[in-house]
Structure 1
Amino acid sequence: MASLTSPTLAPILLLIGSNIFMTFAWYGHLKFKSSPLMLAILASWGIAFVEYCMAVPANRIGSAVYSAAELKTMQEVITLVVFAVFSVFYLKEPLGWNHAIGFAMIAGGAFFIFQGRA
């Protein structure tokens, strides 16, 4: 079993954390549409800084065992999962069958990215 600091597991955990922050940076302000846009931009920028503090190390650590394409694929799949949860539970926007099919197709693409790994 990989430890939390291993170059195999740490990037995944850091990417999950970074995507949670980035999802809030990009979409969290939608619940506060009456606040000034400049405030939303500044708050999002501050939240995004925390995201970068996780995403950059995730990619640096992960590059020891994953290719750049694999790291990017992980990031995109994690982004979709985090966004789906965020959309349903925070924004209260349901996901439909079309979203499920689209996400499944992206997951299928991710499957092929990781084929051929030793």
Structure 2
Amino acid sequence: MGFNIPSLAPIGLLIASNLFMTFAWYWHLKVHNGVLWVIVLISWGLAFFEYWLAVPANRIGSAVYSAAELKTIQEVISLGVFALFAVFYLGEKLTWNHGVGFGFIALGAFFIFKGPIK
């Protein structure tokens, strides 16, 4: 598989969409006195932009990737974005347990992209 616009564009769009979705789901964990319905509306507004990026990413990516590959790319990106968000925004620490868990997920992604085992 060569690297061209249909193979790279979905990755860039999914990175951007996951930034929006991670903020939509988790930004409010640092807001302890917010009114829940206002927080939900703000999160919903952020998620709106996530969809504007994720849907084109999958439409463009379907020319190059299978649905399972697109979902795997999205999940790997989602974990990477979340890990950075947790460290730099939420101030959490990543542990060896996280690394081992992410490693197993990476192993699963490897098998998705390598196709059926023969």
Per the normalisation by structure 2, the TM-score is 0.94
Q: Deviations over 1:5-39 (max 9, x none)?
A: x1100000000000000000000111112111111
Runs of 4+ off more than 4 Å: none
Query: In structure 2, how many angstroms separate the alpha carbons of the residues matched to 1:58 and 1:32?
Result: 31
Q: Does 2:52 match 1:50?
A: no
Partner SS, residue 6 of structure 2: coil
1:83 maps to which residue?
82
Letter in 2 for 1:25: A
Query: Partners of 2:105 and 2:32 in 1: how far apart?
Result: 31
The answer to which structure has the higher helix fraction is 2
Q: Kindly report the root-mean-square deviation, in angstroms, between the aligned alpha carbons of the 2 structures.
A: 1.4
Any unmatched runs of 5+ in structure 2? none
Matching of residue 108 in structure 1 with residue 85 in structure 2? no
CA distance in 2, matches of 1:91, 1:39: 20
Q: Percent identity?
A: 67
Q: Which amino acid aligns with 2:73?
A: M
Structure 1 unaligned spans of 5+: none
Q: Distance in 1 between matches of 2:32 and 2:67?
A: 37
| Aligned counterparts of 2:56 and 2:32: Cα–Cα separation in 1 | 33
1:20 maps to 2:22: no
Give how far 1:2 is off: 4.1
Number of residue pairs the alignment of both structures matches:
115
